């Protein structure tokens, strides 16, 4: 089939290929684009190329849910880029509805490049951007026994970190120990620490925070304990 025989509707050709592959079109837009695909060999090739990329690229990145706002923003950029670079325009800037001449061969690679680059950007943004599924950051205010002391638990990407301020130093021969509680009694961690002269410390909670209901801190003999020997001085309720 020669380029002069390809029936391409310039108002739609290439613009919806990436959103169609990513499943971001409305039901009406999908039906319209499917009808266009039936008559447009170029868009069929574009969709086939993009489907290959979408099926393989996400394996290179951890899968988390991206915010809806991010998806909409990236897809809007895709549409804008394709509108700007996707094909020839008349002298007044409006696209023509005629079948393309052989000049199509000159700008078709550029359109393909825009489509591939656009879908790569969308997939990476959706795969890597922080969103739901454990990617969001939460800051939990902990209960602290010591007067004027404070502590927060920062939860991000499935892990947690304690930020402590104005905590009294432990007595000689003792350290602070971090505990986690899912169901049943508190479980010890290998996070043993002391605070600075000002009473500050930043301590990572070992392991994944998934399923943890409470993070707590007690004063224990140097080297740590298998079970708490004193009441908690810091308690952060995760869930």
- Give the per-residue pLDDT at 118: 55
Domain at 230, CATH number:
2.60.40
The residue among 195, 183, 111 whose CA lies nearest residue 150 is 195
Domain span including residue 56? 3-128
Number of domains present in the structure of the chain: 2
Q: How many CA atoms lie within 13 A of 239 on its CB side?
A: 11
Quote the pLDDT of residue 4: 44
DSSP 3-state of 190 = strand
Q: Is residue 8 part of a domain?
A: yes
What are the pLDDT digits (tens) for 194-213? 999 999 999 999 999 999 99
Statement to judge: residues 116 and 172 lie in one domain: no
State pLDDT tens for residues 28-57: 888 888 888 888 888 888 878 887 776 665
Q: Which segments of the chain have a pLDDT < 70?
A: 1-14, 54-135
Question: Distance (Å, rounded) from C-alpha 239 to C-alpha 172?
Answer: 34
Q: Tell me, what's the pLDDT at 19?
A: 80
Tell whether 153 and 191 lie within a shared domain.
yes
Residue 132, pLDDT score: 42
Same domain, 209 and 149: yes
pLDDT given for residue 41 in this prediction: 81
**133 lies in a domain?**
no
Question: Which pLDDT value is given to residue 55?
Answer: 63
User: Among residues 128, 162, 195, which one ends one of the domains?
Assistant: 128
From 107, 128, 149, the end of a domain falls on 128
Do 111 and 177 share a domain, yes or no? no
């Amino acid at each position: 089939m020669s380029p002069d025989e390809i029936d391409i509707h310039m108002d739609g050709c290439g613009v919806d290929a990436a959103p169609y592959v990513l499943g971001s079109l409305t039901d009406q837009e999908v039906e319209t684009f499917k009808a266009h695909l039936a008559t447009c060999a170029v868009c069929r090739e574009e969709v086939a190329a993009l489907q290959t990329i979408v099926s393989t690229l996400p394996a290179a990145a951890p899968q988390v849910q991206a915010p809806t706002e991010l998806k909409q923003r990236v897809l809007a950029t895709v549409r804008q880029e394709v509108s700007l670079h996707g094909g020839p325009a008349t002298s007044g800037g409006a696209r023509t509805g005629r079948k393309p001449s052989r000049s199509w061969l000159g700008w078709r690679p550029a359109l393909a490049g825009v489509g591939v680059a656009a879908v790569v950007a969308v997939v990476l943004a959706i795969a890597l951007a922080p969103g739901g599924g454990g990617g969001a950051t939460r800051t939990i205010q902990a209960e602290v026994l010591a007067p004027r002391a404070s502590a927060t638990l920062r939860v991000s990407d499935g892990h947690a970190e304690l930020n402590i301020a104005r905590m009294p130093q432990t007595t000689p021969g003792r350290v602070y120990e971090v505990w986690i509680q899912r169901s049943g009694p508190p479980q010890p961690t290998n996070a043993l620490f002391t605070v600075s002269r000002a009473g500050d410390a930043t301590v990572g909670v070992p392991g994944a925070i998934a399923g943890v209901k409470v993070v707590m801190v007690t004063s224990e003999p140097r080297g740590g304990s298998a079970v708490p020997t004193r009441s908690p001085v810091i308690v952060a309720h995760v869930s």
